[in-house]
Amino acid sequence: MTDSRDAIRDVMMRYARLTDLADHDAVGEIFTHGPFRSSLGASHAGAQMAANRKQRILVHDGSPGTRHMTTNIMIDVDEEAGTARARSYFTLFQATPTMRLRLVGSGRYYDQFERIEGEWWFTDRLSMLDTRGDLTQHIRGYEIGELPYDVEVLGPPLEEVPPMPVPDEVHAAVETLIFTYAERIDLGDFEGAGEVFAHGGRQHGMDGTPLGGPALAEALRGGFRMHDGSPRTKHVTTNVLIEPDEEAGTATARSYFTVTLATPDLPLQIIAAGRYHDSFERVDGVWRFRSRTILLDHRGEIEHHVPPGSALLR
């Protein structure tokens, strides 16, 4: 299953790289067996997708100037059926001859895959642009709206997005647990975030108060600012280093996090960056969180997300 997961991850990364190279024909080939559906309204596959992108994606001195960072990847494989599904985040940066490097979008991918003649292929991708900045130099005909997130996100409702299953293999399990917490937070599913730490606690700083389960859910609900019913954040989690002890049934991990946010009063930007120090345990064959320490290294406009005095910062 690890080989399948790696192959699927490669397909996802190939899409981002080919898109940033403006190799639209190759991108179309990746979607030979299913459509790319966008929250901006488009749904295309194959040659039609390539033609649409050639028409809509702007090129500056031979390059779109974009970088599609794909992170927080969770993959669920059904080897017997030859199918898989995945969820991930994308963070879109762009620089052009007339625009300095900036964050111009962030969102989610919900993917379906099928193994065809021994190779994994996209059979469906739903791309949800949750928050956007200035896309006028990326998409032809784009006009800036009144809000930084004035798009109708066509993603499924929360009740149709349960947490992904935790794999058996330690590295995949640890990554899934780490990314599940970020997903639940960003969906505003605070009960789900609390359940991730049902058997342990997460704390802010080395001397913080560990919170887990219902206590964490309550603190999240009361400690985060909501904007039109959503935190409007993306907890982009990268640089995951995992040290397993299979014999003891434990593991530790360290990772980086970068939080993006857009609200009616705050243009899309990075508001915080830091590190997670995590520990895990395997109980009855199932991996779960044991602890997390959050080390906040850099602060931006974080008060738009966590107000001063929040229990989450104690």
3-state SS track over the chain: CHHHHHHHHHHHHHHHHHHHCCCHHHHHHHCCCCCEEECCCCEECHHHHHHHHHHHECCECCECCEEEEEEEEEEEEECCCCEEEEEEEEEEEEEECCEEEEEEEEEEEEEEEEEECCEEEEEEEEEEEEEECCCCCCECCCCCCCCCCCCCCCCCCHHHCCCCCCCCCHHHHHHHHHHHHHHHHHHCCHHHHHHHCCCCEEEECCCCCCECHHHHHHHHHHHCCCECCECCEEEEEEEEEEEEECCCCEEEEEEEEEEEEEECCEEEEEEEEEEEEEEEEEECCEEEEEEEEEEEEEECCHHHCCCCCCHHHC
pLDDT tens-digit map of 243-289? 999 999 999 999 999 999 998 889 999 999 999 999 999 999 999 99
pLDDT of residue 151: 47
Q: Which of 164, 143, 178 has its CA nearest to residue 275?
A: 178
pLDDT of residue 311: 79
AA identity, residue 115: R
Mean pLDDT by 10 residues, the chain (314 residues): 91 98 98 92 93 95 97 98 98 97 96 98 95 91 63 68 97 98 97 97 94 96 90 96 97 98 91 98 98 97 91 77
β-strand partners of 298: 273
Contact by Cβ (8 Å): 109, 127: yes
Contact by Cβ (8 Å): 71, 236: yes
Give residue for tokens 């879109």: 92
Cα separation, 200 vs 289, in Å, equals 6
Q: Which of 271, 265, 234, 227 has its CA nearest to residue 147?
A: 265
Q: Which of 131, 9, 137, 166 has its CA nearest to residue 73?
A: 9
Task: Compute φ and ψ for 62, nearest 5 degrees.
Answer: 85, 0
pLDDT of residue 149: 47
Q: Which residues have a Cβ under 8 Å from the Cβ of 145 and sit 6 or more positions away?
A: 151
